[in-house]
Amino acid sequence: MSGATSYQDVCLDGPSPKAKVDKQQLIGAQATSPDSIGSEVAPLQIEESHSRTKSETSESLKIIIVSSIVFGIAVLVALIVSIKYAPPQVSLKSAVVVADDKACSDIGIDILKKGGSGVDAAVAALLCQGVVHMHTSGIGGGGCMLIREHMDQETVVIDFREEVSAAPPNITGSVEMGSFVAIPGQLRGLEMAHKKYGQLSWKEVVMPAVDLAKKALVNVSSPTGDLKLLESLSRTLERVAHSGADAVYKGTVADDIIKTINENGGTFVKDDLSNYKARLSKPAAATFHGITVETAPSPAGGPILLMILNVLETFPLSPSNASDLATYHRLIEVCRLTDSLRYVHRLIETIQLAMGNLHKLGDSASGNVTDQLISKQFADELHKKIGTSTHSWNYYTDEPNFVPADIEGTHVFVKTHLGDYVSVISSLGGVAGEQTLSSNGIVLNNALVSFKKASSQGNVYKPGARPTFLLTPAIVHAEKRPCGIQNAVGGSRGSAAISDVAQVILNMVAYSMTLSDAIKAPRFQCTFHAPNVTYNRPLEASVVKFLHEKGHDLQLTVGNATNHVGGVARINETVHGYAESVGGGSVTFGD
């Protein structure tokens, strides 16, 4: 009711029709008053009377206008104060958070309920995962974040990958744990994201992870060493909640990290931590069937993801080309058509060719390299290399000895009730990173292994360099179709994350699958020793037979050996969230 009243008041920028009637009545009354009947009025008296009436009316109008302006300003100030300080009244029916653990996806939704942004929710959930899944994620590691705000219709990338120290250790032949630790980037990246896109205070966003760690100390039966680690980590996170990332990158915690690394073979110098900065950049992007796909640029694997989609687009993908092609991608086990089987061969060959270009990625790769990798012209060139049979690995790459490090990570996806999307990935490198722990409860990464195993023309080992990072997040949206597909998707393990994410996007965009169906469909991965190919779900015998005839050596991978994919999506007016259960994933929807 007050809003309607305010609107009417603000719109009264002149005298009302009622005021005009009153004025005419007043003039008429003067003309017919008893004092004026039968008497003669001098012209000067008439002019004076009219002047006085006009002056009084003008003063009345000024009062009305000034009062309206003052009232409007008061209402505006009241609204601003109400919005800023009143408890948020938020409907979260279309919000969803996907994480590796239910405690973390629940924390993300709770942050949204308090009026937090998608970034607030993602930061809180990721810090939570650093507590419950210390072996794959934590503030001793790094990663990257994609953020797309609905109002701005703009996507940004925050790169917080680990970085080589100013005095790099000799990692050739090294077996000392500390020699593979790079400068951690996670906290600086999360802090940058929060400063730019956060709504709640930093403390409100960090404290849920602190509380979770303290609760675990009380309620969880664990070996003494694990309890000490949790206790130390909870204290460190509490310092971060009050002092920001500086609590880790400067002062006594930073000194302890440097001491721990150098005692185990590292060569960190005093300013390595304090000088670290996260990077803000634009995403690498391409269109696939008229849909925009945005992902993290090099040194992340985003350009290879886009390359796969570009090459796939050169083949006929419409269900009309093979009557059950879409059915095959939903339930590959029941597919029997030769055309569809040929498509599987082409898909595998496309992945092999894309993986053969991984060595071009890296922090030292120029923008021209990325532009070439994601160009439609390059996709046409690769298309011509795909024949009716497979080949040795040398056919697909000019660096056959290149094998990327098999890193693992954890992913958080957020879709807010406002239509914002956040996809953030974090990793320690291998399982439990370098298995090097600081006395402050921080599990340190082994990111420099990516240089030892995968040194190349783009992935150059030098001070300040960031290693190739293949756990690539992606955001998909249809700019010209407001009710079209929108999603954020990503994987958790090495190069398989790139090809798996590409296949999930393919299934959703080209074959109109739901998010869960797209992820549940069988997926193929390249092992860098062609013709070896792995797949993550049982296949129909006829499919295996056909691919063997094409020269593919197939192997089924299950359990922890597979890459785990998750994501959030909106298709038309339906909101989806899915995480593969084998990865222990959890989905929490808003109320």
> pLDDT tens digits, residue range 250-281?
999 999 999 999 998 899 998 999 999 999 99
In a domain, 341, yes or no: no
| Same domain (yes/no): 33, 170 | no
In this structure, what CATH number is given to the domain that contains residue 456? 3.60.20.40
pLDDT at 160 over 90: yes
| Cα four-point dihedral sign 155, 156, 162, 167 | positive
Predicted pLDDT at 254 = 96
| Same domain (yes/no): 72, 204 | no
| Same domain (yes/no): 123, 170 | yes
Predicted pLDDT at 564 = 82
Confidence class of residue 31 from pLDDT cuts 50, 70 and 90? very low
228-243 b/e (C-beta count within 10 Å ≥ 16 → b)? ebbebbbbbbbbbbee
Q: For residue 575, give the H/E element and its range.
A: strand 574-579
User: Could you tell me the strand order of the sheet in which 291-295 lies?
Assistant: 284-288, 291-295, 474-477, 486-491, 565-571, 574-579
Q: What residues pair up with 526 in beta bridges, in sequence order? A: 533
Predicted pLDDT at 388 = 82
| Same domain (yes/no): 578, 429 | yes
In a domain, 159, yes or no: yes
Helical segments of 198-280, H only: 202-219, 224-243, 246-249, 251-263
| Same domain (yes/no): 486, 437 | yes
Q: Which residues are annotated as a binding site for L-glutamate?
A: 161, 494
Predicted pLDDT at 484 = 72
User: Could you tell me the strand order of the sheet in which 524-526 lies?
Assistant: 524-526, 532-535, 553-556
Average pLDDT over residues 509-536: 82
Confidence class of residue 291 from pLDDT cuts 50, 70 and 90? very high
Structural domain total, the chain = 2
Residue 57, both tokens: 């009316």
Dist. CA 340–CA 481, nearest whole Å? 29
In the numeric block, the tokens 């937090």 are attached to 116
pLDDT at 2 over 80: no
Parent domain of 50 = 2-85
- Tell me the range of 333-337, 414-418, 456-460 where mean pLDDT is highest: 414-418
Predicted pLDDT at 113 = 96
Cβ-contact 265, 470 below 8 angstroms = no
Range with the lowest mean pLDDT among 447-456, 461-470, 506-515, 567-576?
447-456
| Same domain (yes/no): 176, 119 | yes
The DSSP secondary-structure symbol of 321 reads G
| Same domain (yes/no): 132, 32 | no
Can you give the C-alpha Rg of the chain in angstroms? 32
| Same domain (yes/no): 55, 187 | no
Predicted pLDDT at 352 = 83
Average pLDDT, the chain: 78
pLDDT 10s digits, 308-358: 899 888 887 654 443 333 333 333 322 222 345 666 888 888 888 888 878
Predicted pLDDT at 461 = 84
Predicted pLDDT at 238 = 97
pLDDT at 471 over 60: yes
What 79-85 contacts at long range (C-beta under 8 Å, 24+ apart), as own/partner pairs, is none
Q: In this predicted model, which residue has the larger pLDDT, 430 or 151?
A: 151
Q: In this predicted model, which residue has the larger pLDDT, 77 or 369?
A: 369
Predicted pLDDT at 80 = 65
pLDDT at 494 over 80: no
In a domain, 465, yes or no: yes
Q: Taking Cα atoms as reference points, which of 172, 581, 505, 81 lies closest to residue 329?
A: 505
In a domain, 406, yes or no: yes
Q: Three-state DSSP class for 422?
A: strand
Confidence class of residue 372 from pLDDT cuts 50, 70 and 90? confident
pLDDT 10s digits, 176-187: 767 889 999 999
pLDDT above 70 covers a percentage of the chain that reads 73
Q: Phi/psi of residue 317, each to 5°?
A: -115, -5
Predicted pLDDT at 337 = 28
- Tell me the range of 149-153, 253-257, 399-403, 533-537 where mean pLDDT is highest: 253-257
Predicted pLDDT at 322 = 33
In a domain, 16, yes or no: yes
Among the three residues 85, 107, 128, which one is the final residue of a domain in this structure? Answer: 85
| Same domain (yes/no): 102, 170 | yes
Dist. CA 449–CA 433, nearest whole Å? 10
Reported pTM: 0.80
| Same domain (yes/no): 145, 12 | no
Q: What residues pair up with 142 in beta bridges, in sequence order? A: 427
pLDDT above 90 covers a percentage of the chain that reads 36
Q: In this predicted model, which residue has the larger pLDDT, 42 or 474?
A: 474
Q: Which residues are annotated as a binding site?
A: 161, 494
Cβ-contact 157, 473 below 8 angstroms = no
